[in-house]
Amino acid sequence: MAVLEIRTYPDPVLKERGREVTEFGEELHRLLDDMADTMAKAEGLGLAANQVGETLRLFLMDVPDGEGQRTGIVEVINPRILARRGEIKYEEGCLSFPELYEPVIRANEVELAYQDRHGQEQRIKAKGLAAICIQHEFDHLEGITFLDRLSPLKRKVALRDYMRNNRDDIEEKQFRTKARAKRAEPQVVSPG
């Protein structure tokens, strides 16, 4: 179990679409456990794989029920949203956009089919905050963030504020992303 680094905007991994999960073994279980630790430490309600740098179609959700009690973490792998009903507006936040909150309109009810950590098919119906969380996390798997759900003007203003508030952090992270890219470059073997 380990706490992973949460990737924050403008990390390019947030725009990547996740790949289907095909292996339900130890490696997947370790990632899910690490993501659970990461989400708990950050006090998040949801966490998608690309937010920790893994472009896979999976997310965790930990949404309080009506009584304010936690329902426990649900591990959602290869999800499909089968139905959306109604409409709800809610002030959303995202662990990848620290301290940014914007109202987003989504469906108030969703039906979700997914696989659990053992590859078993599951289905849930969710309402309210749980439905919002599912749609927000599902978007992450498509490379879409909650800011993409705002009008162009609102998005522009929100991003400007975000960039201003996080300038130091962003500069440091961009430096680290470059270093990471450099490490990943193939070794150049000099000819001769």
Residue of closest CB approach to Co ion = 94
Nearer to Co ion, 94 or 112 (CB): 94
Q: Is 137 a catalytic residue?
A: yes
Tell me the backbone φ, ψ of residue 146, rounded to 5 degrees: -65, -25
Among 84, 104, 105, smallest CA distance to 94 is for: 104
Kindly name the residue from 137, 142, 171, 172 that is annotated as catalytic: 137
The C-alpha atoms of residue 17 and residue 57 are separated, in whole angstroms, by 8
Give the binding site for Co ion (CB under 5 A). 94
Nearer to Co ion, 24 or 154 (CB): 154
Minimum distance, C-beta of residue 117 to Co ion, in the bound complex (Å)? 21
Nearer to Co ion, 99 or 185 (CB): 99
Enumerate residues 6+ apart whose C-beta is below 8 A from 2.
34, 37
Output the CA angle 152-174-179, nearest 5 degrees.
145
Q: Which residues are catalytic?
A: 137
